[in-house]
Amino acid sequence: MDLEKKDWAIILLSVLAVASITGNGILLLIPTAQTYPDLGITIIFGTQSGPADLDPMDSWDSASTNVHDQVVEALFQYDLTDPNLPIIPILATDFGTWDGSNYTVELRDDVWFHDGTKFDAEVAKWNFDRLQYFMDHGLAKAGELYEYYVRTDVVNETTGETAAIFAPIINKTLVLDDYILRFVLNVPYGAFEALLTFNAAYMLSPTSTPFNEVIDTATGDLVGTGPFVYDGYEAGVEVRFHSWDYYWRAPAKCDTLIFSIINDPQIRNNALLSGDIDLVIDPMASMLTTFEADPDVHLEVADQTLGIQYLGMNNFWINSTVRKAISHAINYTFIIDELLQGQAVRLRSPIPEGITFANWSFNVATTDIAAARGYMQSMGYGLGLDTNYPGTNEAEWTAASYLTVNYTYNIGNDMRENMYAVLINNLGLIGIKVEDAGTTWSQFILSLYELAGLYRNLNQLYFLGWIPDYNDPSNYINPLFTNRSVASNGVQYNGYLSAKEALRDPFGLNDNVQLLMEAALLNTDEVTREQQYNRIQELLVEEDMPWAYVYCPINNDAWRTNLMGFPTNRMQKAYFYPCYWSTDFE
């Protein structure tokens, strides 16, 4: 397949092809290729799994995204070399302009797809029309990301909140000129530029891609504008690519890219030591010292990832005072240094550093048993006992059962099982007993999402993580704390009820997280959005404490010493366009 595709590109240099299916575009002459000598250069990436979905509009997993990112591009993407992951234009020439709910963007005029189709505004519109078709027919797995809540006039008498329905963010796209595209949105949407970096907004060739069908992962083709051409996927074995000689920047500095699928992490890490693969992302903690000692392996230790791990506390069962006591009772240092072998940093906000508007300056709860006992006494528990730790009444505190809560986790997950032991010990110091509610993964996750007849009220404490779909704080705050739908708000946090409990104005924008998150999302002024997200974080971290904020994993990558240019990044994306072998290009 490699030779066939390269031959086709060469043929395009001498003839004009027939009209493309966009209706008014044609396949144009591709510019002269900027090629490096064909040195037979190969890079092999060791990965746990192949793509679950070859079609970007039908995918929502990192293995699929890693494949897409080599082949397909969006109007915007992240600068993976910057720890703050700023959004940069790719197929757009610059950031767009807002006019109310309209967002207008100018596109590059020097980009071709791997099949020779010219990229322009008609092609971009075709892709967003395809996304809408997929959403309308339930084919876009992440379609909910392109929807927003529409407030109605129906008021819930219990919560004081107005009801809401889902509606698409994009009303339609318009072609204003050959290289000018306008998005007509149903609302001004502050996270829209970030949303355009997500897989479902990647540009596919309309000549080679079915409009109304999902690309078949086993037999289909992925045709984009990126630095590598997709050659094929052998399930359970490998994904293969070759460099696109006519890439609009400059060709990649390797001829062949291979994703070698090795499910077992120990075997995958050992394959790097033996030289069978060239790079692994997130190597095993137990292998780090081995990699550090090996002169043929470079271990890159960067900053924390954008993943977060937290202890969820069901706000329906556990009031804010108890949540504060629990948050101060947890031994965060033990979790990070002992359970995680130091491969994490303390989480200080629901929004991790590296995400726009993250603010870690607020007073997150620290381990303070005396403070935790003080909160317990404020509710009438342990009155008269010494709150110091260690104090004169340690036996009384640890023998007490002032409160009993269950801890739900999926049996077989080492970290969550270890957290059960931590909670027994830590909460036992303040007179709270923790009961074992271990279950299967399916029961655990179904209960958190209230599916299959299971309910969140079954869970009082649980330990879980979250990773982003794109770089915007709404991607954390809205799904994890909204009371508008089931979403991912397993702790049943409610901005209205939390404001009432804390004696804040439940109808005041600045006092209700639900109102703040909705306002921040439907706002395109970045200064105002930052102020709103600062207030959201202040309320969630210092006052309402719906979670105990535990940790962000450290981001490690390991590769062969003479492999250069890999952009280690907090999103843990694998992107090989900048990579080269020092022996070949130095």
CA proximity to 78, closest of 246, 193, 213, 229: 193
Q: What is the pLDDT of residue 4?
A: 34
Angle between helices 414-428 and 320-329 (to 10 degrees): 100
Q: What is the pLDDT of residue 2?
A: 34
The per-type count for the chain, helices as H runs and strands as E runs, is 17, 22
Amino acid at 393: N
Residues 315-330, mean pLDDT to the nearest whole number:
97
Q: What is the dotted CATH code of the domain comprising 2-274+561-585?
A: 3.40.190.10
Q: How far apart are CA 246 and CA 249, in angstroms?
A: 8
Cis peptide before 390 (omega within 30 of 0): yes
User: Residue 544's pLDDT band (boundaries 50, 70, 90)?
Assistant: very high
Q: What is the pLDDT of residue 59?
A: 83
pTM over the 0.75 mark: yes
Residues 565-585, mean pLDDT to the nearest whole number:
88
Q: How far apart are CA 192 and CA 185, in angstroms?
A: 10
Q: Check residue 252 and report its DSSP letter.
A: -
CB 216 within 8 A of CB 202: no
Residue 112 has pLDDT above 90, yes or no: yes
Number of residues that this document lists for the chain? 586
CB 295 within 8 A of CB 569: no
Summarised one tens digit per residue, pLDDT across range 6-32 is: 333 333 333 333 333 333 344 445 555
Residues 97-101, mean pLDDT to the nearest whole number:
94
CA distances from 306 to 75, 221, 462, 549, 551 (A): 22, 31, 20, 14, 11
Q: Where are the domains of the chain?
A: 2-274+561-585, 308-400+462-553
Summarised one tens digit per residue, pLDDT across range 347-392 is: 999 999 989 999 999 999 999 999 999 999 999 999 999 999 999 9
User: Residue 82's pLDDT band (boundaries 50, 70, 90)?
Assistant: confident
Q: What is the pLDDT of residue 204?
A: 98
Residues 232-252, mean pLDDT to the nearest whole number:
95
Tokens in use for 270?
Answer: 């050992």
Q: What is the pLDDT of residue 6?
A: 32
Range with the poorest average pLDDT among 20-34, 76-90, 264-278, 548-562: 20-34
Q: Classify domain 308-400+462-553 at the CATH superfamily level.
A: Dipeptide-binding Protein; Domain 3 (3.10.105.10)
Average pLDDT, the chain: 89
Range with the poorest average pLDDT among 73-77, 81-85, 198-202, 500-504: 81-85
Summarised one tens digit per residue, pLDDT across range 25-79 is: 444 455 554 444 455 689 999 999 999 999 998 888 889 999 999 999 999 999 9
CA proximity to 314, closest of 513, 514, 518, 494: 494
Tokens in use for 209?
Answer: 């891609």
Q: Check residue 199 and report its DSSP letter.
A: G
Strands (E), 162-227: 162-168, 170-177, 180-185
Q: Phi/psi of residue 62, each to 5°?
A: -70, -35
Range with the poorest average pLDDT among 82-91, 232-241, 359-368: 82-91
- Of the chain, the percentage scoring pLDDT greater than 70 comes to 89
Residues 211-218, mean pLDDT to the nearest whole number:
94
530 Cβ contact list (under 8 Å, min separation 6): 357
Residue 483 has pLDDT above 90, yes or no: no
Q: Within a 10 A sphere around the Cβ of 379, how many other Cβ atoms?
A: 14
Residues 191-220, mean pLDDT to the nearest whole number:
94
Q: How far apart are CA 359 and CA 352, in angstroms?
A: 8
Strands 256-261, 42-47: pairing is parallel
End-to-end CA distance of the chain: 31
CB 145 within 8 A of CB 480: no
Q: What is the pLDDT of residue 163?
A: 55
CA angle, 186 then 191 then 197, to 5°: 110
163 Cβ contact list (under 8 Å, min separation 6): 151, 152, 154, 155, 156
Query: Which of residues 440 and 164 earns the better pLDDT score?
Result: 440
CA proximity to 514, closest of 483, 542, 473, 547: 483
Q: What is the pLDDT of residue 302?
A: 80
Strands (E), 498-586: 547-560, 563-564, 580-581
